[in-house]
Structure 1
Amino acid sequence: MMQQFYPQVQHSYRFELNKDMHLAAAHLIPDAAAGQCQYMHGHTYFINITIAGDALDDLGFLINFKRIKEIVHKRYDHSVLNDHPEYKDVYPTTERVAEQIWKAITQELEMLAHQPKCLQVVVRETPTSYVVYRPKPEELA
């Protein structure tokens, strides 16, 4: 994988973890205003997830890299995004995919005693287009 550089999140946590991954998925935005995207098509999405915290678990992790991949890759790889329940009432735009990845990661992090936080999710849909999702400060509390 080519090394990617993403916008940095300013924070005061001691540790910052970044996980890159890619997955293949299809979607459509069934509205004429979406142009060609109104038809089923696929992408190889490149995803970067930033997690930070001040404390580590008993093994010395904020969270195991493998667990992050399981949460995201297993859920979306080689699937039609429109078929996922989180997109039942909304279109799976890149913005919403980034938001849903943040929600899934955050749900997992909230179960951990040392409470790391997901600060940013970047979803690259094409080589020239990507979305950055960052939660509001109150969502990190």
Structure 2
Amino acid sequence: MLQQMYPQVFHDYSYELNKDMQFAAAHFVPHEEAGRCRNIHGHTYFVNITIAGDELDDSGFLVNFQALKKIVSGQFDHTLLNDHTNVFNDQNPNDFPTTEVVARKIYEMVQAHLDTLLNKPKCLQVFVRETPTSYVVYRPKKVKRHG
């Protein structure tokens, strides 16, 4: 994976973790205004997840890198994103598998996992690069600190 810098999220947490990963997947955007993107096509998605927190877990991790990889590439790699009907659908534009929605859905899946951890880290940002010239950054409006 090409080493690159990502947009920085300013915060006052003690720890910040960034996990890079990639997955190959196909998708199509089910809307007439999507043009050529209405056709099934594929990408190698490059993803960076930024997680922060003040407490480490019992193993000394903010969060285990392998857990993050399993949540994202373990689920989506070599699949048709539209087939993940528990995540995406063709009825609501907020659930179409566009890069914007993919970034938000990854955030939601990662944060749901983080919410189960005793040290309560927070996902601050998800960066998804769809092509060499196009990427999306998703940041939740507000990130609440625990405690």
TM-score normalised by the chain length of structure 2: 0.92
- Kindly indicate whether residue 7 of structure 2 is the aligned counterpart of residue 7 of structure 1: yes
Partner of 1:87: helix, strand, or coil? coil
1:136, CA displacement in angstroms? 1.1
- Structure 2, unmatched stretches of 5+, are none
Q: How many pairs align?
A: 140
Match of 1:101 in 2: 106
Instruction: In structure 2, give the amino acid aligned to 1:103.
Output: E
Q: CA deviation at 1:35?
A: 1.2
Matched, 1:19 2:23: no
Report what 1:132 is aligned to.
137
1:1-141 equivalence runs, <5 A:
1-85=1-85, 86-88=87-89, 89=91, 90-137=95-142, 139-141=143-145
Shift, 1:4, TM fit = 1.4
The percent identity for this pair of structures is 59
How many angstroms does 1:117 deviate by? 0.2
Using the alignment, how far apart are the partners of 1:111 and 1:84 within structure 2? 23
- Following superposition, which runs of at least 4 residues in structure 1 exceed 6 angstroms of deviation? none
TM normalised by structure 1 equals 0.96
Name the SS for the 1:140 alignment partner.
Answer: coil
Q: Distance in 1 between matches of 2:144 and 2:133?
A: 29
The Cα shift of 1:140 comes to: 3.4
CA root-mean-square deviation: 1.0
Q: Per-residue CA shift, 1:40-68, capped at 9, x if unaligned?
A: 00000000000000000011101111110
5+ long unaligned stretches in structure 1: none
Question: Residues 140 and 77 from structure 1, CA distance in 2 versus in 1: closer, same or farther, beyond 3 angstroms?
Answer: farther
In the aligned structure 2, how far is the partner of 1:39 from the partner of 1:31?
10
Structure with greater proportional helix content: 1
